Structure 1
């Protein structure tokens, strides 16, 4: 038996958001569920091939797959914003290049990434002097620090866990992150702390770190979610 049906209209719904997640990322989707817990916006997720280790070469190699990853998002509607979920690759590939590749793979008004989002959130807070905590090895840390400096955010003090294996980064305890971030954030020249990497768990410790040092503390996933919400509202 075949039934007739009617189609519901998309006119009353905000345009959806899209998120490109690294194949090895075990954290961002969980933290985004928390960030968008009170939101009715649609968020579609696609994955991009990525290496088991966080090295400059592996990060750079992702450039060739960004368009294809964006193209795997549902193509029935235009997106208000698509976020590319990798801070360190954004520093190496560049925000403008990433935006061009994503726009060539899907219909979207705005593109952001954790690096761009963090710089925008820093401006929102009115801070220019950061403590930066990362899980990366030095060949990845160097372009990341440079990218922040080029965006007008001075890295006053820097710390790293020095880990290149993604599966270990995803399992760094929030206790370890809290201790490291507090140590960096206590520096008197620092106005705020940024914790880098979408695969590093931070949502359970951001408030505690901020409370302990009495300064703003933000992370890759927190910044990216904030910026995507902002861009989505602005494009509505």
Structure 2
């Protein structure tokens, strides 16, 4: 490099990293980036493609241990501080035991710490002291029912739930559709509301919905990035009561 070009050039800041294992149809990479500080990078990889529509069978396929192990190893080269499994249905479809297996699989593949979307949801509910939840999903009814069962295993009661019944193209759900289903599913006895699926856009909706409903609103991408950054001792960028709650640093491998 010519001497005159090097004058005044500062070295780039050291980037801490989060490895992200996402489903093959995940289309909201930019939304994940919005949650992270400028000195944190995301290293994303996709799970194998399936022709199955968004059903229980597809969720089970997304949680296949061999695929998750391989995807985890794919993102380890840049040395992320944590690996996040960013799929809600794939991490709740086999219940609490299945979610734990996913985390153990990622740590066993070499991840220094690991979290899943559904595990992050449970941690977020505990931080907020929530045990009665309303849930809005894009799923068909059998998939939504698996989420209700997963929450029950963690002593969280679903007081109301509603699904859009989509079998694909979930990333095309609009903010207007999300607001409508949230209005439908909210209940007086729900202490908080959860919008499921990492392929549902939600970043700009959380604070307006919390103001309108008067209660915490959690979303799949929000809790995933919150948990991953929390494992690094960092705080997510964005709004919502969860991000304003004081939370301790997690031990490696916890979610």
Could you tell me whether the CA contact under 8 Å between 1:182 and 1:212 is conserved in 2? no
The 2-side partners of 1:60 and 1:179 are apart by 29
The normalised TM-score by structure 1 is 0.86
Is 1:126 the counterpart of 2:135 in the alignment? no
The 1-side partners of 2:49 and 2:139 are apart by 15
Corresponding residue SS for 1:32:
helix
Could you tell me whether the CA contact under 8 Å between 1:16 and 1:81 is conserved in 2? yes
Q: Which digits, 9 at most, give the CA deviation of each residue in 1:66-103, with x for residues without a partner?
A: 111111114353x4211101101101242111112222
The 1-side partners of 2:128 and 2:15 are apart by 27
The 1-side partners of 2:125 and 2:192 are apart by 8
Match of 2:24 in 1: 23
Corresponding residue SS for 1:226:
helix
Cα deviation for residue 161 of structure 1 reads: 0.4
Question: Unmatched 5+ residue regions in structure 2?
Answer: 1-12, 234-248
| The one of 102, 108, 129 aligned to 1:104 | 108
Match of 1:48 in 2: 47
Could you tell me whether the CA contact under 8 Å between 1:90 and 1:115 is conserved in 2? yes
Q: How much is the aligned-residue C-alpha RMSD, in angstroms?
A: 1.9
1:1-150 paired onto structure 2 within 5 Å: 16-27=17-28, 29-36=29-36, 38-52=37-51, 53-62=53-62, 63=64, 64-75=66-77, 77=79, 79-93=80-94, 94-105=98-109, 107-150=110-153
Give runs of ≥4 in structure 1 deviating > 4 Å: 12-15
Question: Unmatched 5+ residue regions in structure 1?
Answer: 1-11
Q: Which digits, 9 at most, give the CA deviation of each residue in 1:162-185, with x for residues without a partner?
A: 1111x1x11111111012112322
The normalised TM-score by structure 2 is 0.80
Match of 1:156 in 2: 159
Corresponding residue SS for 1:57:
helix
Match of 1:7 in 2: none
Cα deviation for residue 50 of structure 1 reads: 4.0
The 1-side partners of 2:208 and 2:183 are apart by 9
Aligned positions, number: 218
Could you tell me whether the CA contact under 8 Å between 2:33 and 2:42 is conserved in 1? no
The 2-side partners of 1:156 and 1:30 are apart by 32
The 2-side partners of 1:212 and 1:204 are apart by 14
The 2-side partners of 1:121 and 1:74 are apart by 26
Match of 1:181 in 2: 182
Match of 1:5 in 2: none
